[in-house]
Amino acid sequence: RPRIFSGIQPSGGLTLGNYLGALKRFVEKQDEGIETIYCLVDMHAITVWQDPDKLRQQTREGAAAFIAAGIDPARSILFNQSQVTAHAELGWIFNCVARMGWMSRMTQFKDKAGKNSENVSLGLFAYPALMAADILAYHATMVPVGEDQKQHLELTRDIAIKFNNDFGVDFFPVVKPIIEGAATRVMSLRDGTKKMSKSDPSDQSRINLTDDADTISKKIRKAKTDPEPLPDTLEGLKDRPEARNLVNIYAALAGHSAEQVIADFAGAQFGTFKPALADLAVAKLEPITTEMNRLMKDPAEIDRILGEGADRAEAIARPIVDQVYDIVGMIRSR
Ligand code: TYM
């Protein structure tokens, strides 16, 4: 039976990119009846310094976003990573399987470390090995993510293969990224060549799941565009990254294809398209924000849900990681 695992870092508020590229699709997978395990990866978040109170707050807010978006903690397992120690344990073993060369080729590390890689945490470098552990501790085979995680999932596959070869076992499965839909890479509203990101210094560059209706509308109306009207074919969006991005966002929010959106808005000026997009975004996001705010009034209940999810996650991961210890040759005599 296929099992899905995916995670989101509670390292800031969630954006429209996280919602369309990940969260919305997590809900679709759950509703297809697949076994789904979703994780707020707090141990990944601390690869760059996090204020402890904010980390707690953002983890709860992330959990509230999952539930508000449609994750049902009875049907999916929803928990925060640090409550299940199997992740850290398998992460260490994978640190010993992964090669320095593989890790140094990770583009996300290179982007995050910048020129001064002497000064970033060792955890940031090892990050993708922990990510492989997140997935493989459950023998999950399907991982819904945005485009930016593709390279990390290729590394997950390499780690699984090398582990199996090194120990002569057929233990870890091959992991398949699920990168699908109209918005696998939502771009910044200020620069169509940059990813929309919670870490962008400009708040105008992104829509946050905590933004109110007015803020969402304003950000979309002010989004960078070119002066041309929308074309009548997708081809016509080539070399128009900002226009392409807004069309993709519309498509993903509406649950249509980009082709469909272009067919509906062929020849429209942004003066027409942007208000339509703003209305759609508000209609889809406002109920989520409202529900998030309601859930956040009862942090103890969120913590209870995360704890219960962690118990269920642990029940799956513990025996798998115990087997890994046996395979590797660790004595376990108690
Ligand atoms: P993170 O926290 O950066 O992002 C969470 C998810 O949101 C997707 N995403 C986007 N999708 C489309 N457009 C965007 N602009 C955009 N920004 C973010 C990401 O692709 C991701 O799916 N390393 C992961 C977290 C992680 C994980 C895992 C994921 C840790 N362990 C195991 C899957 C399986 C990350 O930093 O995601």
- Mean pLDDT score, 88-96: 98
Please tell me the distance between residue 19's alpha carbon and the centre of ligand 1 in angstroms.
10
195 is catalytic: yes
Range of the domain at 53: 3-179+299-328
Same domain, 136 and 219: no
Please tell me the distance between residue 17's alpha carbon and the centre of ligand 1 in angstroms.
9
In sequence order, what are the beta bridge partners of 166? none
> Does residue 85 belong to any structural domain of this protein?
yes
User: Ligand 1 pocket by C-beta < 6 Å: which residues?
Assistant: 5-9, 17-18, 21-22, 41, 44, 131, 134-135, 143, 145-146, 148-149, 152, 183-186, 195-196
Give pLDDT, residue 1. 82
Is 198 annotated in some ligand binding site? yes
Residue 59 pLDDT grade (very low, low, confident, very high; cuts 50, 70, 90): very high
Element containing residue 326 per DSSP (H, E): helix 299-328
> Does residue 168 belong to any structural domain of this protein?
yes
297 is catalytic: no
Identity of residue 211: D
Is 214 annotated in some ligand binding site? no
The string of pLDDT tens digits covering residues 216-231 is: 999 999 999 999 999 9
Residue 117 pLDDT grade (very low, low, confident, very high; cuts 50, 70, 90): confident
The CATH number of the domain holding residue 269 is 1.10.240.10
Is 322 annotated in some ligand binding site? no
Q: Are 43 and 81 in contact (CB under 8 A)?
A: yes
Give residue 246's Cα distance to chain centre: 20
Please tell me the distance between residue 289's alpha carbon and the centre of ligand 1 in angstroms.
20
Is 218 annotated in some ligand binding site? no
> Does residue 187 belong to any structural domain of this protein?
no
Same domain, 286 and 306: no
How many domains are there within the chain?
Answer: 2
Same domain, 323 and 208: no
Same domain, 41 and 159: yes
> Does residue 7 belong to any structural domain of this protein?
yes
Same domain, 288 and 308: no
**Among 26, 24, 20, 57, which Cα is nearest to 39's?**
26
Same domain, 215 and 156: no
Same domain, 85 and 130: yes
**Among 137, 169, 142, 163, which Cα is nearest to 153's?**
142
Closest approach atom of ligand 1 to CA 44: 30
The string of pLDDT tens digits covering residues 191-210 is: 999 999 998 999 999 999 99
The CATH number of the domain holding residue 14 is 3.40.50.620
For 203, half-sphere exposure in the C-beta direction (CA atoms, 13 angstrom radius) is 9
Give pLDDT, residue 318. 98
Measured at the alpha carbon of residue 198, what is the angle toward residues 195 and 199, in degrees to the nearest 5? 85
Averaged pLDDT of the chain: 97
Give pLDDT, residue 208. 97
Same domain, 28 and 114: yes
Mutate to test the pocket of ligand 1, among 66, 149, 244, 246 (most ligand atoms within 8 A of CB): 149
Same domain, 131 and 208: no
Q: Is the pTM of this model over 0.90?
A: yes
Same domain, 225 and 312: no
Nearest-CA residue for ligand 1 atom 33 is 6
**Checking DSSP bridges between strand 77-80 and strand 35-40, what pairing results, if any?**
parallel
Residue from 24, 29, 195, 274 carrying the catalytic annotation? 195
The string of pLDDT tens digits covering residues 140-181 is: 999 999 999 999 999 999 999 999 999 999 999 999 999 999
Give the largest CA-CA distance in the chain.
72
Same domain, 124 and 41: yes
Give pLDDT, residue 325. 98
- In percent, the amount of the chain with pLDDT more than 90 equals 97
Residue from 54, 150, 162, 198 carrying the catalytic annotation? 198
In sequence order, what are the beta bridge partners of 15? 208
- 10 Å CB burial of residue 165 (0-12, 13-18, 19+) is exposed
Q: Report how far residue 15's alpha carbon sits from residue 210's, in angstroms, rounded to the nearest whole number.
A: 9
Residue 39 pLDDT grade (very low, low, confident, very high; cuts 50, 70, 90): very high
Q: What is the DSSP letter of 22?
A: I
Q: Report how far residue 278's alpha carbon sits from residue 176's, in angstroms, rounded to the nearest whole number.
A: 34
* pLDDT higher than 90, residue 115: no
162 is catalytic: no
> Does residue 155 belong to any structural domain of this protein?
yes
Same domain, 10 and 121: yes
Q: Are 176 and 5 in contact (CB under 8 A)?
A: no
The string of pLDDT tens digits covering residues 266-325 is: 999 999 999 999 999 999 999 999 999 999 999 999 999 999 999 999 999 999 999 999
The string of pLDDT tens digits covering residues 41-52 is: 999 999 999 999
